[in-house]
Amino acid sequence: MTKVQITVNGEATAADVEPRLLLAHYLRDTVGLKATNIGCDTTSCGACTVLLDGESVKSCTLLAVQADAQEVTTMEGLSADGEHLHPVAAAFRAEHGLQCGFCTPGMVMATVSLLKENPTPTEREIREGLEGNLCRCTGYHNIVRSVIAASGQDPDTVQGLNGHAETAPSGGVEVAPGFSTGSDS
Amino acid sequence: MIPVGFDYERPDSVDGALALLAERGEDAKILAGGHSLLPVMKLRLAAPELVIDIGRIAELRYIRVDGDEVAIGAGTRHHDLEASAEIAAEVPLLGAVARTVGDPQVRHRGTIGGSLAHADPASDLPAAVLALGGTVVLRSPRGERSVPITDFYTGVFSTVMEPDELVVEIRVPRTGTAGWAYEKFTRRANDWAIVGVAVVDGRVGLVNMGQTPLRASATEAALAGGASIDEAAALAAEGTDPPADLAGTKAYRAHLARVLTKRALTTAQG
C-alpha cells in the first residue's frame, strides 16, 4: 500500500491505496464522489474527465498515486451550490447541453479546460477541443451551443441559425479528410 | 479493468530513476504520461513488477534551441509541443503532429519520450522525428549515448534500448521555413492513424506502413533526382510491408500512402 494525499475540490483527502488503484476509482469509491462516470474504461469516451492541476485528464487512465500531492477538481467541486452554478454548468443547463446526462460531467470538465486554454473558441475549435468526449445520445449540437454560450459568445451568431460552421479547418493539418476517393489523386 | 498489482516508485530525479532501473530494470517499466503503458497494463498485456513514475521529474521537461537543433526533454508533453512558440518557429512539423495525437486529455499527459520509446509503428511522433532526422539521447548508469532515430527501432514495440537505459532527450534539427506537412488518415476522431505521412524539407516519414516507422526512401530519392510530386508520391509504398487489419488491407494502406504523400508533398511545397 502507498499513502496518497490528494486535494479534491479544495479539500485534503488521504488514503493508503494499492498503486494499481485508478484515479477514477479513488474519486468514486475512496472519496465517494460519484459525478465522475466511468464509461469505456479505455481512454476513449471522456466520461471520467477531471481536472488535474487545472488540466483535463481522463481519470480511468491515471493512477491515484500519480495524482499524489496534486489538486483534482471534479464536477462536484465546480459550482458553489445548485443556485450558483459555474458558468459552464449554467450554460449546459441553459442550452440544454445534455440528454441522458452520462457524458455531461466529462463534457463540462473538458470544456472548463478548453476555455482556459482558448477563451473564445470557434465552433470548429470546440468540436476539435471536445474530440475526446463522446455523447452516445449524439447530443453534440446542443453541447457545442453550450460551450459557445459558456465562452460568452452567442451560439446563433457563431454557428449561424442553420447551426453549421462555415470556417475552414484550423492550421495546416488535415486531421480527418473523411474518405478516400479510391483513386491516387 | 484493473492492472495486476505492482510496486510503485516515483523518483524525483533522473539519477534516482536510473538507480532503480539499474537495480530492477528487467522487471520494471517506466511510466511517464502513462497513456501507452496503463492501457496495456489494464488489459494485462503487460504486468511489470515495478513501475517507475518519471512523470514529475522537472529536469526532463523542457524545450530549448541549442545551436542548429532543438533539444526536447523526454518528459515534454504533447500539449507542451503544440503550445510552444519555439516549436512553432523552429520545428513547426513537430507541433502540428503533436496536435493530432489522441485528444486534449491525452495530450495533457502523453510525452514525446514515452511515445518514441513505446515504439508503436502506428504512433504519429516517431515518424515525424524520423522525417526530421532526429536523435534519441539515452542515459544509463554506464553513461549517455545518442542514437539516430534511423537506428533506434528494431521492430514492433522494440528499440535498441537496454533495460537500464532511459530516454532523456530528443534532438531535432531546426527546420525553420522549410516546407512541411502532416497527413493523418483516420476514420474517427482521436483514432490511431490508418496511415500517416510526415513531410519536411524533402524527407518523408510513414506511420503504420511496417513494423517500425519508415522513411519513404524511393520517394525521397526520386525527389532528390528531380522527379515531380506525382512521380515521387507514386513510389511512397515501395519497400514497405504495411499491416492488414480491420482498418484496411495492405493494398489499401499502400494506396493511402501514395495519396497522402502526394497531398503532403503538395502542401509542403506551399
Using only C-alpha atoms, chain B has a radius of gyration, in whole angstroms, of 18
The C-alpha cell of B169 is what? 532527450
Owning domain of residue A95: 80-168
Total structural domains in chain A?
Answer: 2
Q: Which of A56, A61, A65 sits opposite B104 (nearest CB)?
A: A56
* Domain spanning B7-53, CATH architecture: 2-Layer Sandwich (3.30)
A125 and A52 belong to one structural domain = no
> Which CATH number covers residue A37?
3.10.20.30
- Chain B CB contacts of A180 under 8 Å are 185, 255-256, 259
A182 found inside a domain: no
Q: Is the pLDDT of residue A170 over 50?
A: no
End residue of a domain, out of A50, A77, A104: A77
Instruction: Considering the domain delimited by B180-269, tell me its CATH architecture.
Output: 2-Layer Sandwich (3.30)
Please say if the pLDDT value at position B269 is more than 60. Answer: yes
Residue B56 has pLDDT above 90, yes or no: yes
Whether A70 maps to a domain, the answer reads: yes
The answer to the question of residue A185 being in a domain is no
- Of A19, A50, A77, the one marking the end of a domain is A77
Q: Which tens digits make up the pLDDT trace of B61-119?
A: 999 999 999 999 999 999 999 999 999 999 999 999 999 999 999 999 999 999 999 99
Minimum-distance CB partner of B39 among A61, A172, A176: A61
Q: What is the CATH number of the domain that holds A143?
A: 1.10.150.120
Residues of A with CB under 8 A from a CB of B: 2, 18-20, 22, 41-44, 46, 49, 52, 55-58, 61-63, 65-66, 68, 110, 113-114, 117, 128-129, 131-133, 171-177, 180, 184-185
Q: What is the pLDDT of residue B231?
A: 98
Cross-chain residue pair A176–B186, CB shorter than 8 Å: yes
Q: Considering the domain boundaries, does residue A175 fall inside one?
A: no
Count A/B contacts: CB-CB distance under 8 Å: 117
Q: Where does a domain end: A43, A77, A111?
A: A77
User: Domain B58-173 classified CATH 3.30.360.10?
Assistant: no
Q: A23-48 pLDDT, tens per residue?
A: 999 999 999 999 999 999 999 999 99
Residue A159 is predicted with a pLDDT of 78
CA-CA distance, A179 to B197, in Å (whole number)?
A: 16
Q: What pLDDT score was predicted for residue A172?
A: 40
- CA A7 to CA A25: how far, in whole Å? 15
Of A68, A110, A185, the CB nearest to B105: A110
| Cβ-nearest to A132 among B6, B103, B262 | B103
**A15: closest CA of chain B, how far (Å):** 16
Model pLDDT for residues A101-142, shown as the tens digit of each residue = 999 999 999 999 999 999 999 999 999 999 999 999 999 999
Q: Mean pLDDT, to the nearest integer, of A69-84? A: 95
Residue with cell 481519470: A59
Kindly report, residue by residue over A140-149, the tens digit of the pLDDT.
999 999 999 9
Q: Work out the minimum CA distance from A22 to partner chain B, whole angstroms.
A: 8
Closest CA to A96 of A129, A130, A144, A157: A144
Q: Are residues A63 and A94 in the same domain?
A: no
Taking 90 as the threshold, does the pLDDT of residue B221 lie above it?
yes
- On whether both A124 and A70 belong to a single domain, the answer is no
> Is the ipTM above a cut-off of 0.90?
yes
* A181 found inside a domain: no
Cβ proximity of B40 and B46 under 8 Å: yes
A52 domain residue, yes or no: yes
Continuous segment of H or E residues that includes residue B256: helix B250-269
- pLDDT average, residue stretch B10-24: 97
Mean pLDDT of A165-175: 45
* Pair A65, A114 in one domain: no
Task: Examine the pLDDT at B27 and tell me if it is beyond 50.
Answer: yes
Indicate whether A171 pLDDT > 50: no
Structural domain boundaries in chain B = 7-53, 58-173, 180-269
Q: Say yes or no: A84 and A44 in one domain.
A: no
Closest-CA distance, B205 to chain A, in angstroms, reads: 15
Q: What does the pLDDT read at residue B188?
A: 86
CB-based contact B50:B27 (threshold 8 Å)? yes
